[in-house]
Structure 1
């Protein structure tokens, strides 16, 4: 072999025997390791929060045991224990278990037949329904129809807050349809002991029947509230509202909400208004249906029977130009226009406020009724360039002005009485 070949062989041998260190890989492997504490010999002893590993002491006897006597795997050991437990059940014990199960089922059926809400453990009793249950479909179909709602005298609300509003107003709850048991915890403090059926359905069934994009997951079916069953939490004001041609559900709901907040006595709906029990009206009214008597589908010939004898009529409108049936223009000058805050409402015995829809406006019958009782029109002064306000907003402005004046007058009378008694 030549000298050149020997040198090449020696170089190759050295390269193969040199350890290859991947510094980047080694650093990345150990750089995330951080010591909890470095113990130095000259430091005083201190409490170090280091984790102690469990040391397994392998006894020589354990190691010398034969293979067959070693512990079985975990899964096999659990199976053996379960088989031993099953083998321990005697025929008498099996009979007792079966009898207890049958007794529990009988008791549950009895509670369901008696419409009991809570069982012996104070848990809500409900029936789990499958997809497309005929009872649920028939019930919700009837509640979606105005004709069937009036026939069955039942209404549906969505969301646990509206159900609680109805229960607080002592309205009769008939059914609760839900998808998650957590929703029932919000109702538990307000539920009666008997008289309510609970049905658990899949959430997709709730989505099918709901009118909102993201359903809350719970429906409540109430008996339609009447004037006698509505529970008031405060004394109402001598104020009534007449809704004339309110066609938009959201507007009617806003009017009812404002009427409850202001403390109106009742609300009268003329024929032509949207159904007061429409799901959109109920949702936008936020529980006002359970706090306020509402009379609906009233003809104008019957309207005077629903009004108080000495009531003063006001129309929330500043434009009254229309033609009557004979072709003669209605004389709007018969009804004067005043700013809503310029009227001294405490001097009146009773007040009736007429509000109209944004599309149809005030009807001719409203103006003629107001003219026959020396009524007035109320105007809300606004900035230039603004023609009108939303019907619900206008109702709230006028109704709360009436409330403010009445409360101020009553407070003054009360203070004068106290001063007279003190002197």
Structure 2
């Protein structure tokens, strides 16, 4: 039995040898030599490229390893002992200076290079900062806000808001905010990009976070003279809608925005991202009770409600509650039929898509002889998105006011 098994293994080995030889032969047949040299051809002159032959002798290999180790060990001693000591001393002094500047929250060193601390993935300071600023309760307690992206950080610095921390992963992003950074008072941390992606609210993280003290209505920076226009946001609960309204308010040149109690938190990360820096360029009053609203309105303001409801009841002129809730006692007209240039000041009330216009808004408009503005739409379309409706009405107001100002300027130039 054992003899048959041995004979079987020997046959299998022979077959394997034949197959491997045929493979090698097939590979050799596919080669394309540059030139065939014949040993009996004396006239053939060829210039062959000489290749370096690697010696596999164990003695030669050990000799080369010893030589490389000797060179490696001798590298640090290429300087004299005194010179090496001076280099070490300078390096220690530089590290001490850097640590001192970091403790003092200095942003730049004596060579005007940005100072930052490189932290590891498991550093608890970064997670502690970001966890707290993701919570509305902790944001209010700390009076701080988190922004994402170098453009929003620049907007905050231009508005003279106090920057507390910068968390980044790439030096390029840090260089974008370099001209706007203060000389001290900011701590900068460099973390791996994968950590930034974990904390980011977007699919592709911009790679840089900024932590500011919450700006107040007094330190926001308006880049131009605002229009006599303000918004009242009535129970806007969707972050994207509120961010869009704030962005439109800045673009149209609003004076300020009033947020009633019940609106989404204006410092929600989604609101900040969709507002694109409006928080730092526009006075925003948050969580206003309706009892306090008249105090924040201009005395001679004209009040309008952006309302998709076109129903009106002219038969009843009394402010009964059932009519007041639906606003049917307040006239409704197309938004473009009003001469806004004849008004001293304009207040526009905007309602949420879910709840709509509240009873308090209708009551305020009725007490101030307000009007409801409607945007005529194609048949079969009920209403527009809150942000889109705001843009349509706001930029109609802006167009009329700018045309009036341009006309007055032209007349003054002709008169002079």
Q: CA deviation at 1:247?
A: 0.4
Where does residue 297 of structure 1 map in the other structure?
287
Where does residue 264 of structure 2 map in the other structure?
274
The answer to whether the Cα contact below 8 Å between 1:171 and 1:229 also exists between their aligned partners in 2 is: yes
The answer to whether the Cα contact below 8 Å between 1:226 and 1:293 also exists between their aligned partners in 2 is: yes
The answer to whether the Cα contact below 8 Å between 2:301 and 2:347 also exists between their aligned partners in 1 is: yes
State TM-score, norm by structure 1: 0.79
Q: Which moved more, 1:380-389 or 1:162-171?
A: 162-171
Where does residue 9 of structure 1 map in the other structure?
none
The answer to whether the Cα contact below 8 Å between 1:125 and 1:198 also exists between their aligned partners in 2 is: yes
Q: CA deviation at 1:230?
A: 0.9
Where does residue 395 of structure 2 map in the other structure?
400
The answer to whether the Cα contact below 8 Å between 1:255 and 1:395 also exists between their aligned partners in 2 is: yes
The answer to whether the Cα contact below 8 Å between 1:267 and 1:295 also exists between their aligned partners in 2 is: yes
Residue ranges of structure 1 left out of the alignment (5+ in a row)? 1-23, 34-51, 57-67
Deviations 1:283-332 (A, max 9, x none): 1111111111110100000000111110000000042889xx99644273
The answer to whether the Cα contact below 8 Å between 1:267 and 1:293 also exists between their aligned partners in 2 is: yes
Aligned length: 370
Q: CA deviation at 1:385?
A: 0.5
What is the aligned counterpart of 1:414 among 385, 409, 412? 409
Query: 5 Å matches for 1:184-195?
Result: 184-195=174-185
Whole-Å separation in 1 of the counterparts to 2:282 and 2:180: 20
Q: CA deviation at 1:25?
A: 7.6
Query: 5 Å matches for 1:14-413?
Result: 29-30=31-32, 73=64, 77-319=67-309, 328-330=322-324, 332-413=327-408
State TM-score, norm by structure 2: 0.81
Q: CA deviation at 1:115?
A: 1.5
Whole-Å separation in 1 of the counterparts to 2:298 and 2:333: 23
Q: CA deviation at 1:417?
A: 1.0
Whole-Å separation in 1 of the counterparts to 2:48 and 2:124: 62
Whole-Å separation in 1 of the counterparts to 2:89 and 2:74: 23
SS in 2 for 1:341: helix
The answer to whether the Cα contact below 8 Å between 2:159 and 2:280 also exists between their aligned partners in 1 is: yes
Whole-Å separation in 2 of the counterparts to 1:54 and 1:215: 54
**Cα RMSD (Å):** 3.1
Whole-Å separation in 1 of the counterparts to 2:406 and 2:67: 81
The answer to whether the Cα contact below 8 Å between 2:311 and 2:328 also exists between their aligned partners in 1 is: no
